[in-house]
Amino acid sequence: MVEWTIFLFDAAHILILVGIVASALMVVKFKDLISAAIALAACSLLVSLEFLILQAPDVAIAEAAVGALLTTAIFIFAIRGSRRREEY
Amino acid sequence: MEQMSPIVRTIIKIAFAPMFVFGAYIILHGHLTPGGGFQGGAIIASLMALYLVAFGATKWKKKLLSGIESGGLLVFIITGFLGLFSGYMFYNFLSGSDIPIFNQTIDLMPGWEHANWAPIWSGGTVSIMNIAVGLEVIAALSLIIITMGLFVFDKKEDA
């Protein structure tokens, strides 16, 4: 029983870490900047889940509130003040 | 600053009350459960940011928000200094006293076995400081968002 729950925790851990790396790659690769901001919010939400697994619920709440909502709002302000598509 | 689509506005209208209640819960239970003034204040301030993104900037009272921010910090510092009259700095003078707010002590509550099961009125000055920090964080982060939004959309430093 104990080994089974440890395996579940490890599986969730690995899934969340892979998700963090994938969403961070999406942030770099997207040319639509609003999509990149949403992907950054998803990355920050996964980071807060990782904090929750690592037994730091206080940091997880702060990360979820600030990372997923406040910085997304600030990025959306900045994007709507300029162009939406990235050019290179 | 213009409004966004009706879908966004309806979702924000639906989510406004539950998010506000959750932020207030995080602030008020700060001495018992994870969270506290900063976390709950950040939740309510992000609610203000969502409201600003969805509905656009109307008349926001920046002077009032600045006053709330200064007032929260003043309440925090004064509560810390009031402990000097009873003993030392940041002394929890409310716990077990005659002042009928946040004054319950844990041993008045029989049968408690876990720290999270203590009554909500057992905070003492910790709850007062959590509420003060929560008000300060709400006002400060809302002020940052409002200033950025007004600067981006109306090209005004002071509005």
Interchain CB distance below 8 Å, A78 and B152: yes
- Is residue A1 predicted with pLDDT exceeding 90? no
Burial class of residue A62, CB neighbours in 10 A (0-12, 13-18, 19+): buried
Question: Residue B144 to residues B37, B93, B94, B148: CA-CA distances in angstroms?
Answer: 18, 35, 34, 6
Tens of pLDDT along chain B (159 residues) come to: 667 788 988 998 999 999 999 999 999 988 888 888 899 999 999 888 888 878 876 667 788 889 999 999 999 999 989 888 888 888 888 877 777 777 777 665 555 666 556 777 887 888 889 999 999 999 999 888 888 877 776 665 554
| Residue listed under structure tokens 């990235």 | A86
Pick from B65, B143, B136: nearest CA to A70 = B143
Determine the residue of chain B that is closest to A62 in CA distance: B39
Question: What is the C-alpha to C-alpha distance for residues B9 and B128, in angstroms, rounded to an integer?
Answer: 34
pLDDT value of position B159? 45
Interchain CB distance below 8 Å, A58 and B149: no
CA distance B1 to chain A (A): 10
Here the tokens at position B126 are: 């910790």
Interchain CB distance below 8 Å, A80 and B152: yes
DSSP state of A85: B
Here the tokens at position B17 are: 């009350």
Look up the ipTM and state it: 0.77
Here the tokens at position A85 are: 């598509």
Helices (H) and strands (E) in chain B, counts: 4, 0
The verdict on B105 touching A (C-beta cutoff 8 Å) is no
Determine the residue of chain A that is closest to B137 in CA distance: A66
Q: How many C-beta atoms lie closer than 10 Å to residue A9's C-beta?
A: 11
